[in-house]
Amino acid sequence: MMAGLVAALQQNQATPAPSAGGPANPRGHGQGQQRAGRQLEWRKVDKWCWHCGANTSHVSINCKSRDTKAPDHKDATMDKPEGGNVSKNKNWGLWYHPKKGYRDTKPGN
């Protein structure tokens, strides 16, 4: 019985402990702190997607929105939208926080 306990303890020590940040985010948004898939830090609006417009997380080729044709418009940019969403272009270059909104400069968290 003692040998079984020693073996179990050795196995637990060989397994790396989970990181303090929790499990990896399945959506691939590795920037900033995350809690349940929501960003908690300020992020710059510096990416443009044909379907979503100006945003903080992705370009057209990586768009995950349902039934979107954004990946078909991989060459679309904010300057050449190819008929895409331009409603959020006014936010380009601003800093965004989900609870505090948009700002011209990056405030402290």
Contact of 36 with 22, CB cutoff 8 Å:
no
Q: What is the pTM (predicted TM-score) of this model?
A: 0.60
Burial class (CB in 10 A: 0-12, 13-18, 19+), 109: exposed
Query: pLDDT by residue (tens digit) across 72-109?
Result: 999 999 999 999 999 999 999 999 998 889 999 988 76
Q: Which amino acid is at 77?
A: T
Q: Give the Cβ contact number of residue 31 at 10 Å.
A: 13
What would the two tokens of residue 75 be? 């060459």
Indicate whether 12 pLDDT > 90. Answer: no
